[in-house]
Structure 1
Amino acid sequence: MLQAAIEPLAFPVLVGDIGGTNVRFALLSDANAELRSFPSVGTADYPDIETAIEETVLAHTSIMPRSAVIAVAGPVSGNAVDLTNADWIVRPADIMEKVGIGDVVLLNDFEALALALPELRPADVTHVGRGEVESFCTKVVVGPGTGLGVGGLVHAARIWVPVPGEGGHVSFGPIEPDEFPIWRVIEPEHGRISAESLLAGRGIVRLYRAVATVAGSMPQLHSPAMITDAALAGTDPCAERTMELYCRLLGRTAGDLALIFMARGGVYLGGGIAPRLLPFLNRGGFRKAFEAKAPHEKLVAGMATAVITRDSPALLGLAAFARTPNRFGVSLTGRRWRRAAVAAR
């Protein structure tokens, strides 16, 4: 059954990508306009989304948005969305009351990133390894950052249908012989080891401490950025080992998702970490783990993998939806809030 047509959003439209660490906003004045982006700010720098909108957008423009399409890092359910990795609670009713926007749509952040995939140009991505992108076939995006986001995009009935989820929280275990000693000393999170607990930014630190412990070394580095920088500079053997292992585990997860979604349209790495790791991703461990899916190695070997290098790609997806919502199979049931006067127009 085809979905009912989505009532268009009134322009200007505010689009926002609300992550656990960073907040990004842009304005779309009309359906044919270019996005006007505003500087990224820290989520922790503002007490709530309303203050962030007022101070980072409205204080710098005379344009008053009539609608908003906002991606949040967490499952959208009910009238209050609690961000998974930040202290904000996003309430559309508060956005309407305090900011004055009459029509608010909330989407999952990786749903928004999935919406961007058909909009990406060759210059927006860097391919890793072999594999071909097949047109109008299912795509997957997986993004390590503050958390580990996962989203799918299926082409059906001539529209693109995003498939949001919380796939980053699947359980994770060792496979290669050299991984078992590391697993024995990895600190669990919430009583278990999930993909996110190793592949999100905090997972880099967790992996590094485990690698150093197995090597009999005292951990010298204490942040994802420090570990990544040392690995890229070749100044810390444990950091290099950590990033090689990290890319292997990321490739394994990406390959699992490729099989789950049958992603002949490609698997894309989003988020803030992957672009920095291209030198390690290109060493081969990522792609080898991606393809190690017996008995379906040949199937997965034909699927493309790429890193999204464009800044703020989720805003691109949100803008595409705002311009032509009926090009996408997005259900807005329970995810769109409108003032009575707006809904009656």
Structure 2
Amino acid sequence: MMKKRGGTGSLLVGDIGGTRTRLSLYDALGKRLLLEAVLPSREHGSFEEIARSFLGSADHPPPSVAVLGVAGPIRDGVATVTNLSWKLDEGKLARSLSLDCVVLANDLAVAARGCLHLPADVVVPLGEGRPKAKGNHMAVIAAGTGLGEALLVWDGSKHLVLPTEGGHTDFAAQGAIEAELCAFLSKRFPEHVSYERVLSGNGLGALYDFFVARGARETKANERRLEEGDRNATIAELGLSGASRPAAKAVDLFASIYGAEAGNLALKLLGLGGVFVAGNIARHIVLARREQFLAGFRKKGRFSGLMAQIPVVVVTDPLVGVRGALAIAKDLVADGEAPPARPKRASPRKRSSR
């Protein structure tokens, strides 16, 4: 069992992604924010490096517990970040950072836990209604550097958070255009075309390339813009503004396929309580193309009527994963159940992620 430090230890919580790492430090009870930062993941060689930089930036009580959402597979307390070269080990992190306990958790499972603690002003309904949590299953999906999916399963008294690797399931083309897209992507990724190959930052870039290959013309000015800075972000900007024909087509198809996969997730879970759509892409493309998203979500043949009754909302809070990690950390401390970290430890919270 974890030894309680009489309120002297703090709680380190975070959300580790392929592009950004969001870290927050709270007091021992998890009630007062002491420090927070959003740091570029790829500019650091390891999580230990980024954590030391963060913790050394101000005076504060040293953390005793860390709960970290990780965008990558986790097995026996060891995680690799799918779109990053980092490897994290609970036991090694605890020793390196002098912590009593480290918990590595699926990033979307952590975000899903955070969705249970969201204020109303960071939830934007795409259609009618808001999630109906009590008594219902719900789902969480988030496209970003990768595609993450998680489940909130109602057990009769509370929600159990279940991580998945749904983003790596086979891409299922609907209609002639998507069949062409699948063939196009099969040449680029001959080993496997997953939903993440479409529904991610790089996936948006691939959709743009597909429409250019089909003959959608681009202006010289836009071509120059695409050579500068973040190409995928520029495609989103050009597509949403209508300044680029292939980018606009890419954004529209992206929203439709995103909605279809969110609907697949809801159907498999029978998530009648609702679907939370999180991540930076949701805050931009999904809100701007809600009609295409909802059309894809609801287009399920004989079950289209049922799908129209499921609430779908966009989470605009970029710190939803940090909220979930904090909730887990507070539970560990309140229950006194956080054991000293060991090199290998299995946990129902820790499976795989994107």
Give 1:254's aligned residue.
Answer: 262
Q: Would the alpha carbon gap of residues 99 and 127 (structure 1) be closer, same or farther in structure 2, given more than 3 Å must change?
A: same
Equivalent residue of 1:163, what SS?
A: strand
Instruction: Name the CA distance, whole Å, in 2 between partners of 1:208 and 1:152.
Output: 31
Give 2:165's aligned residue.
Answer: 166
Structure of higher RCO (CA pairs closer than 8 Å, 6+ residues apart): 2
What's the CA shift for 1:218?
Answer: 5.9
Range with bigger deviation, 173-182 or 69-78: 173-182
2:237 corresponds to 1:229 = yes
Q: Kindly indicate whether the alpha-carbon contact (under 8 Å) linking 1:35 and 1:319 is maintained by their aligned counterparts in 2.
A: no
Instruction: Name the CA distance, whole Å, in 1 between partners of 2:311 and 2:104.
Output: 30
What's the CA shift for 1:319?
Answer: 0.9
Q: % of aligned pairs identical?
A: 26
Task: Please report the TM-score for the alignment, with normalisation by the length of structure 2.
Answer: 0.86
Equivalent residue of 1:52, what SS?
A: helix
Equivalent residue of 2:301, what SS?
A: coil
Instruction: Name the CA distance, whole Å, in 2 between partners of 1:323 and 1:155.
Output: 21
Equivalent residue of 1:182, what SS?
A: helix
What's the CA shift for 1:132?
Answer: 4.6
Q: Would the alpha carbon gap of residues 77 and 52 (structure 1) be closer, same or farther in structure 2, given more than 3 Å must change?
A: same
Q: Kindly indicate whether the alpha-carbon contact (under 8 Å) linking 1:27 and 1:37 is maintained by their aligned counterparts in 2.
A: yes
What's the CA shift for 1:325?
Answer: 4.7
Equivalent residue of 2:103, what SS?
A: strand
Give 1:293's aligned residue.
Answer: 300
Instruction: Name the CA distance, whole Å, in 2 between partners of 1:38 and 1:32.
Output: 13
Output aligned runs, 1:84-103, within 5 Å: 84-103=82-101
Give 1:245's aligned residue.
Answer: 253
Instruction: Name the CA distance, whole Å, in 2 between partners of 1:297 and 1:159.
Output: 28
Aligned with 2:318 (options 298, 311, 319): 311
What's the CA shift for 1:192?
Answer: 2.2
Range with bigger deviation, 169-178 or 198-207: 169-178
Q: Unpaired segments of 5 or more residues in structure 2?
A: 344-354
What's the CA shift for 1:272?
Answer: 1.7
Q: Kindly indicate whether the alpha-carbon contact (under 8 Å) linking 1:172 and 1:195 is maintained by their aligned counterparts in 2.
A: yes
Q: Following superposition, which runs of at least 4 residues in structure 1 exceed 6 angstroms of deviation?
A: 6-10
Deviations 1:205-249 (A, max 9, x none): 111000111125369336211101101221101111100000000
Task: Please report the TM-score for the alignment, with normalisation by the length of structure 1.
Answer: 0.88
Deviations 1:263-319 (A, max 9, x none): 12211111221101145322x111011011121111111001111101211000111
Instruction: Name the CA distance, whole Å, in 1 between partners of 2:234 and 2:142.
Output: 20
Aligned with 1:280 (options 288, 291, 294): 288
Q: Would the alpha carbon gap of residues 111 and 320 (structure 1) be closer, same or farther in structure 2, given more than 3 Å must change?
A: same
Instruction: Name the CA distance, whole Å, in 2 between partners of 1:9 and 1:298.
Output: 52
Equivalent residue of 1:13, what SS?
A: strand
Q: Give the aligned residue type for 1:249.
A: I
Deviations 1:105-136 (A, max 9, x none): 11110110010111012101111123552231
Equivalent residue of 2:305, what SS?
A: helix
2:283 corresponds to 1:267 = no
Q: Give the aligned residue type for 1:162.
A: V
Q: Give the aligned residue type for 1:56.
A: F
Give 2:81's aligned residue.
Answer: 83
Give 2:352's aligned residue.
Answer: none
2:200 corresponds to 1:192 = no
Instruction: Name the CA distance, whole Å, in 2 between partners of 1:231 and 1:97.
Output: 47
Q: Would the alpha carbon gap of residues 237 and 78 (structure 1) be closer, same or farther in structure 2, given more than 3 Å must change?
A: same
Instruction: Name the CA distance, whole Å, in 2 between partners of 1:276 and 1:88.
Output: 28
Q: Kindly indicate whether the alpha-carbon contact (under 8 Å) linking 1:14 and 1:65 is maintained by their aligned counterparts in 2.
A: yes
Give 1:338's aligned residue.
Answer: 341
Q: Kindly indicate whether the alpha-carbon contact (under 8 Å) linking 1:72 and 1:108 is maintained by their aligned counterparts in 2.
A: yes
Range with bigger deviation, 250-259 or 296-305: 296-305
Equivalent residue of 1:205, what SS?
A: helix
Q: Would the alpha carbon gap of residues 273 and 160 (structure 1) be closer, same or farther in structure 2, given more than 3 Å must change?
A: same
Instruction: Name the CA distance, whole Å, in 1 between partners of 2:60 and 2:333.
Output: 29
Q: Would the alpha carbon gap of residues 326 and 115 (structure 1) be closer, same or farther in structure 2, given more than 3 Å must change?
A: farther
Aligned with 2:23 (options 15, 22, 25): 25
Q: Give the aligned residue type for 2:326.
A: A
Q: Kindly indicate whether the alpha-carbon contact (under 8 Å) linking 1:17 and 1:24 is maintained by their aligned counterparts in 2.
A: yes
